[in-house]
Amino acid sequence: MSQPVLYLKNANIFQDNILILKNLDFEINKGEFFYLIGKTGSGKSSLLKILYGDLPLIDGVGEVVEYDLPSLKEKQIPFLRRKIGIVFQDFKLLNDRSINDNLLFVLKATGWKDKDKMHSKINEVLTKVGLQDKGYKMPFQLSGGEQQRIAIARALLNDPELIIADEPTGNLDPKTSMEVMELLNQIHKSGKTILMATHDYSLILKYPQRTFKVENGEVFEVVHQQ
Ligand SMILES: Nc1ncnc2c1ncn2[C@@H]1O[C@H](COP(=O)(O)OP(=O)(O)OP(=O)(O)O)[C@@H](O)[C@H]1O
């Protein structure tokens, strides 16, 4: 039987006491790949923030990777984030250190201690994204597409149950966007659950997956025409 990695029921999402999304009701099962589409300002990021604990769920019920959202405590958030890999539009790499040190920083911050295990994990995730020979470089020495692949490698470090990608191709040219999509697809095929927000319909047409649309404060599933 399929198992939900996340669900929201009767959820209303607020930013600064303003209702942004109402009556959300959806679930994502293990191994699925979902898009969240919608115009700028429609509320995609707000919805994702609820899911990774950056915004509290104050109205409605929901669970993400076995964490109950309405009762989520501040001190649980780092543990929730270990089970979720998050990829942002602007990569969010630390520019004052090498790629290896960026990855090492995350491992240490999430409780890893054994040096050999950390090095082999870094090698494993860099190999997954095809950048095993770039670990010694500084982020600014890499192209935008390479930086995003490093950000995806970073998201994989703790073997997350869910990957949340917020406009991961938003800063990339069309060709590089396709390369990042190929990589996300490959990661999906390896068994990961992915939820990706985008406003780029051409990506969805090229890589069709189940799609939720955010519009006029509501979220509903879009049925693709075959
Ligand atoms: N921290 C905040 N405080 C108050 N209002 C906010 C905050 N963040 C977002 N909003 C408002 O919430 C609404 C939804 O924003 P959100 O960032 O979720 O949209 P989005 O669909 O992700 O758009 P984008 O693609 O531009 O990020 C917008 O009207 C925005 O102005």
Q: Is the CB of 41 under 6 A from ligand 1?
A: yes
Three-state SS at 95: coil
Per-residue pLDDT, averaged over 142-166, amounts to 96
What's the whole-number average pLDDT of the chain? 94
Complex ipTM, two decimals?
0.92
- Please, what are the domains in the chain? 4-222 (3.40.50.300)
Separation of 14 CA from ligand 1 center, angstroms? 10
Q: Give 223's pLDDT tier (boundaries 50, 70, 90).
A: confident
Q: Are 170 and 89 in contact (CB under 8 A)?
A: yes
pLDDT in tens, 27-41: 999 999 999 999 989
Q: Is the CB of 96 under 6 A from ligand 1?
A: no
Q: Is the CB of 78 under 6 A from ligand 1?
A: no
* Sequence-ordered list of residues with C-beta below 8 angstroms from that of 56, at least 6 positions apart, any chain: 50, 69, 70, 72
Q: b/e per residue, 9-47, with b = 16+ CB within 10 A?
A: eebbbbeeeeebbbbbebebeeebbbbbbbeeebbbbbb
Q: Is the CB of 177 under 6 A from ligand 1?
A: no
Burial class (CB in 10 A: 0-12, 13-18, 19+), 221: exposed
pLDDT in tens, 67-109: 999 999 999 999 999 999 999 999 999 999 999 999 999 999 9
| Residue minimizing CA distance to atom 6 of ligand 1 | 15
The C-alpha atoms of residue 114 and residue 189 are separated, in whole angstroms, by 30
Q: Are 55 and 15 in contact (CB under 8 A)?
A: yes
